[in-house]
Each structure stands twice: as structure tokens, then as C-alpha cells.
Amino acid sequence: MATESSPYSEEQEIEESLTEELLALLALSLVFSTDKIVMSQFEPAADFNIVQQRFRNKMSEVLPDLNQSSRSSIEIALSRASKDLGLTDLNIDYSNAIFREFVADVFEKHIELVSQTNRTMFNELRQIAFEEGWSNQELARRFKDYFGLTPNHLKTVLNMERALLEDGVKKKVRDSLLKKRIDQLIEWRLNLIAVQMSTEIVEGSKDSAFTYLVTTGQVSITEYEKRWVSVIDEVTSSICLSSHNMRADIGQKFANGVYHPPAYPPIHPCRSAIILAKKIL
């Protein structure tokens, strides 16, 4: 199975490094978020909001690295434009608000999506707690164990617990199996978040740079456009296959509905990139 995260090795290197960093911080943030919960004093609504805020605060530590990855991606795009298109005098003012705002928007979008999913999961957990007659302490224990699961994965874990109980599996073995399954599901979710976020930072930064070059008069929109390039192999998603070699005006969406990779739906590890290209007249 192919492992490339981008059709270009330069972008792949940035994405892999950023993904690794995001994965580590996401995992740390989940633990950090819930480690102050006192189960005997658990107040569901108030404590959940505190957990969410602690998660956001911890994750914000990645912002400097997101900005650095953004700049590195732009420099790669300029280098490629110089080599492939002969555009040798392109200059970027990295202090321009367009680049800082883009990175901040990507961060906010993904953290808000994570937060919304966490809230949906917690609301479902509270409903189950009410139906099962759990105490606040039991709800707190399970919340600490389950924080990071999606709503669907919460159901998977509870169904697995029910099946193990029905089969008479001993508590020690049951707890071990459940912990292993929870870890697998959370790892899957965090990996998807990290990969999507990394791709968006890398490719979206290049897209912002192309727009900046046009607005500053360094690149003519009548001569140049952006082109979508996807890794083509046996695991390439349908949307990336259909997007390969697609062209769009700089500053505009591609026909697939997005300005730059990642492509969606579905949400998936998108192995695509954009490049500056000469228009075909």
C-alpha cells in the first residue's frame, strides 16, 4: 500500500513532520484536558466546558509550528515556480495578514469541529447515563475513559462492553479489551485530524501565496492558473482521481468545490497537491 501523503516529496516531508507533531499534541491534549476532573465532585455541564477549554488551550501551542510549516510550503511553491516556469523574481511578504489569518482559520476550523464532535459524544453519554442510572461519579469515570471518541465510536465501545458482559468475560480481561479498542478508535480519529490539518496547512498556504502573487501584480491571472495533482494508485479516493489535473483560476475554487486539497467528501487522508501552472490557451 502506498504511503505518500503528497505527490511531491518536498510537501510530503513537511506534512509528515507536521502530522507527527499534531498527533503527539492531540494525544497529550486529550490527557491534559481531563486530568483535573475530580470524579467525586463531577458537575457534567461545567466540567465538560472546562475540559473543552483546556483542550483548546493546549492545542494552541502548535500555532507557531503551523505558521512555520505554512512559510516552508510557500517557499517550496515559489522554488518550483522558478524552476518549472522561469518565474525567478517572486517575493512574499510573510508579515501580510493573509497568511496569519489563513493559519488561524485552519486551526479554528479543525478545533471547532473536534469540539462539536466531543460535545455530541458527551451529550449522548449523558443520555445513556440517565437511562442506565449511572451516578455522576460513574459518568465522570467513563467520560475520562471515552474523551476523544466520536459518537459512533462511543456506541461501538458500549456495544462491545455489552457483548463481553453477556459472554461472561472477567472484568480484568474485559477492561483490557475495552481499553485496547478505545485506544485504537481514538488513534484513528486523531490520525485523520492530523493528516487533514497538515494537508490543509501545506496546500492552503500555497493557494494563499498564489493569490497574493496575483493581487500584488507579480503573476498575471491571464497567463497562469493553478493545477491539481493527485497520487494515482490502487488506494486513491474517487474524488482525488476525478480531481487529478483539474485546473482553476487563481483565487477560485476547483470544479470539485474546494480551493485546494484536501478534497471532501468523504473526509480522508488526501494525497493531492496544487501547483502554479501556465494556462493552456
* Tens of each residue's pLDDT in the chain, 281 residues: 334 467 899 999 999 999 999 999 999 999 999 999 999 999 999 999 999 999 999 999 999 999 999 999 999 999 999 999 999 999 999 999 999 999 999 999 999 999 999 999 999 999 999 999 999 999 999 999 999 999 999 999 999 999 999 999 999 999 999 999 999 999 999 999 999 999 999 999 999 999 999 999 999 999 999 999 999 988 888 999 999 999 999 999 999 999 999 988 777 888 899 999 999 87
What pLDDT, on the 0 to 100 scale, is given for residue 50? Answer: 97
**260, 203 contact by CB (below 8 A):** yes
pLDDT of amino acid 263: 87
From CA 1, how far away is CA 195, in angstroms rounded? 17
Q: Are the C-beta atoms of 19 and 5 separated by less than 8 Å? A: yes
Distance, in Å, from the CA atom of 205 to the CA atom of 203, rounded to the nearest integer, reads 5
Pick from 26, 44, 52: which is nearest to 192 by CA?
26
| Residue 29, amino acid | S
pLDDT of residue 76: 97
Strands of 224-230's sheet in order across: 247-248, 224-230, 272-278
Whether the bond into 261 is cis, omega within 30 of 0: no
Which residue carries 483542550 as its cell? 55
* Of 102, 96, 91, nearest in space to 69 by CA: 102
